Structure 1
Amino acid sequence: MTEELPGLDPQRLRAYLDRATPGLVAGPLTGRVIAGGKSNLTYAVTDGAGVWVVRRPPLGHVLATAHDMAREYRVMTALRDTPVPVPRTYTLCEDPDVLGAPFYVMEHVAGTPFRTRDEIAVLGAERTRAAAESLVATLGELHAVVPAEVGLGGFGRPSGFLERQVRRWHKQLDASRSRDVPGIDELHERLARTVPEQSAPAIVHGDYRLDNVLITPEGDLTAVLDWEMATLGDPLVDLGLMLVYREQPDGLVGDSAPATSAEGFPSSTELVELYRAATGRDVSQLAWYVAFGCFKLAVIAEGIHLRHSRGLTVGAGFDRIGAMVAPLVERAHATLKER
């Protein structure tokens, strides 16, 4: 389990863990990069007996407020005793002198973050549907958690959340510009003009989708991952973005069809009804949230495209991410016309 580990020095990590969590690690560490993510870097490390997961920000060009290790660590720690399955957290290091950036260490949980139709085919149609239903049910459980009861009462500012989100992602777009993207500024203006009345606030994951959870061969959901954009706000942004991923744009998973296109995976309409039945929330304005999800994902993809163009990405597939942006913008405009 050893390979080149950009952004992680196993010896420095071992020395830190011996100080921060005595007894956790029993020998020299080796590791590997866990592929698939296009944002934070994730590694599996082992001492030959135990296995842990390390998360740190990407190399170079880190957008302001993005890739917040303390945010991920805090929300997963807070959710430990709720119905929402999360890995156990061990330590957060905010000293950049250890690995060059803040990072945290968490439990390694069994399961697969299914990304492609070929990968999820091993489940079969029945277990694929069960996994999708668990995905929606878990989202409903997250949105039912009372933030103050788990120590997250001050985790975000729900009032004015949607307006701030639209402004925030336009600011992130400005920080990631490297080329002209037709229609994206007009999309921002349309979203800002048509913000709906907010749904009752809840804990928002921020990037909720099938390949940000772990699924067992039996179709059980064992953990929700990637909490870097979690906050308190309108939970329908999670549902809207999940629907964007349900109809994934070409390029997100390379040359393979997305896992959400597999036999047995519910349609977008079915997913919405499952969520509405589980939560009782009003989903009549969901088109706006889907369009906003397209905008947010387009901005994220543009930031990744910029990092890739500067040679600052680690892993395969980054060369295709830039091609996602224009179709996402077009889909958002079309979705807003349907309102």
Structure 2
Amino acid sequence: MRKKPPGQLMSKSAHKIEREYRVLLALQGTDIAVPRVYCLCEDSTVLGTSFYVMEFLDGRIFEDPSFPGVPPQERNEMWCEAITTLAKLHTVNIDAVGLGSYGRRSGFYNRQIKTWKETEHAQSTVVDVDTKIPVGRVPGVGQMIEFFSQGQGPQDRACLIHGDYKIDNLVYHKTEPRVIGILDWEMSTIGHPLSDIANILQPWTILAMSSSAAHQLLLPFQMTAGIVGLPSIPDCLEWYANVAGWDPQPEMIWADAFSLFRMSVVRQGITARHASRQASGSTAVEIGRGMSVCVALTLRLISKMRDMRTNGRARL
């Protein structure tokens, strides 16, 4: 069963389980691996909030993108499967599956900038239940929003996107390096494919930029540089391009920067939920502290893009 959390929600864009049910239902007859859904209940008097019931998938879920305990060759195959599964998702005919009205077909990143700007502001005003101190703004948010609003982002594209595509939202077969289900579709929409690509590759982006930052942001994982069997970013982008039919590499830096900016607001949101006691335990606090690291990495990428433009390399 999937349901919304209790109480006042911090973000209007999160926990949209009705949309999640709709997209899962639409993908039932395709070759995209999703669990079967059985019913949606929007009557809040039943459980206090909307919910739906779906099939249980008997497989493996890995929270760590380095796939600890898995043989090196299988690690590579599992990452290839994750990337090619995403590429297949991005080639789904949205009209044919009844999702033509699931979102707008242009201006995705412009809408994202507006959404995350509003979300950041709303979360900053949340007051801690005990200390009565507001969560506060994401450091450098004005500078980041200004850069992303300059209209120099990626070429506009539109497809069905997952919205939070990452390893721990995939269910793998119990013994094979094969994805049998994609979970957690609440942020899915018609949007830009780079958003999903940047999200799944974010651990590599972090590792490539700073070992100290990687240590803080990837602390729950064993993932470090040099693990045998893990592919490189170019490997992943080539796998994607071979299936999707276009090369995302030239525009990845902008998408990576926006993905890290978004993550900084997500981490602010975790802090806000902890402040209002919708999230409990020390983990919520620790994850929230990573917000400043996400900001630092975002600003580094923004600086790099500015340097590239100054040197005449306009396409990012």
TM-score by length of structure 1 reads 0.78
1:284-329 deviation per Cα after TM superposition (whole angstroms, max 9, x unaligned): 1111111111111211111111111222115772221111211111
Rounded to whole Å, the distance in 1 between the matches of 2:2 and 2:217 is 21
Aligned twin of 1:328: 294
Q: Distance in 2 between matches of 1:244 and 1:194?
A: 23
Aligned-pair CA distance for 1:252? 5.6
Aligned match of 1:133 = 80
- The CA deviation at 1:195 is 3.9
Given candidates 87, 95, 98, the residue that maps to 2:43 is 95
Shift of 1:158: 1.6
- 1:175-214 alignment, distance < 5 Å: 175-177=122-124, 178-214=135-171
Q: Which residue does the alignment assign to 2:189? A: 231
Matched, 1:146 2:93: yes
**Which among 104, 109, 128 is matched to residue 52 of structure 2?**
104
Q: Which residue number corresponds to residue 198 of structure 2?
A: 240
Per-residue deviation, 1:260: 9.4
Alignment partner, residue 59 of structure 1: 6
For residue 122 of structure 1, what is the aligned residue in structure 2?
A: 69
1:122-151, CA deviations, whole angstroms, 9 ceiling, x for partnerless residues?
221111111100000000100000100000
Shift of 1:262: 4.7
Contact 2:162–2:188 (CA under 8 A) maintained in structure 1: yes
**Does the residue aligned with 2:69 lie in a helix, a strand or coil?**
helix
Q: Which amino acid aligns with 2:202?
A: V
CA–CA distance in structure 2, aligned partners of residues 135 and 336 of structure 1: 28
User: Given the superposition, is the C-alpha separation of residues 86 and 175 from structure 1 closer, same or farther in structure 2, using an over 3 Å criterion?
Assistant: same
Retained in 2: the 8 A contact 1:254–1:320?
no
Flag the 1:99–1:315 CA change in 2: closer, same or farther, 3 A: farther
Match of 1:337 among 283, 303, 311: 303
- Contact kept, 8 Å, 2:138 with 2:265, in 1: the verdict is no
Amino acid at match of 2:12: A
Per the alignment, do residues 270 and 156 of structure 1 end up closer, same or farther by CA in structure 2, a change over 3 Å counting? Answer: same
Structure 2 length-normalised TM:
0.83
Matches within 5 A, 1:3-42: none
**264 and 59 in structure 1: CA distance in 2 versus 1, 3 angstrom threshold:** farther
Is this contact kept in 1: 2:217–2:293, CA < 8 A?
no
Cα distance in 1, alignment partners of residues 36 and 99 from structure 2? 17
Structure 1 residues 263 and 96, CA gap change in structure 2 (3 angstroms)? farther
Is the contact between residue 117 and residue 260 of structure 1 (CA under 8 Å) also seen in structure 2? no
- 1:308 pairs with 2:271: no
Q: Which residue type is aligned with residue 232 of structure 2?
A: S
In 2, are the aligned partners of 1:71 and 1:228 still within 8 Å (CA)?
Answer: yes
CA shift, 1:112, in A, is 2.2
Matched residues in 2 for 1:61 and 1:147: separation?
33
TM-aligned CA distance change 1:282 to 1:129, over 3 Å? closer
Residue 137 of structure 1 aligns to a residue in which SS?
Answer: helix
Q: 2:180 is matched with which residue?
A: 222
Contact 1:204/1:232 (8 A) holds in 2: yes
SS at match of 1:303: helix
Q: Secondary structure at the match of 1:182?
A: coil
User: CA deviation digits over 1:2-33, x for unaligned, max 9?
Assistant: xxxxxxxxxxxxxxxxxxxxxxxxxxxxxxxx
Find the counterpart in structure 1 of residue 310 from structure 2. Answer: none
SS in 1 for 2:103: coil
Alpha-carbon RMSD: 2.2
| Distance in 2 between residues matched to 1:220 and 1:263, nearest whole Å | 20
Q: Structure 2 unaligned runs (5+)?
A: 125-134, 207-213, 306-316
Instruction: Tell me, in whole angstroms, the C-alpha distance in 2 between the residues paired with 1:105 and 1:91.
Output: 6
- 1:8 corresponding residue in structure 2: none
Structure 1 stretches of at least 4 aligned residues deviating more than 6 Å after TM superposition: none
Letter in 2 for 1:126: Q
2:245 matched to which residue of 1? 280
How far is the alpha carbon of 1:245 from its aligned partner? 3.6
| Distance of 2:149 and 2:45 partners within structure 1 | 41
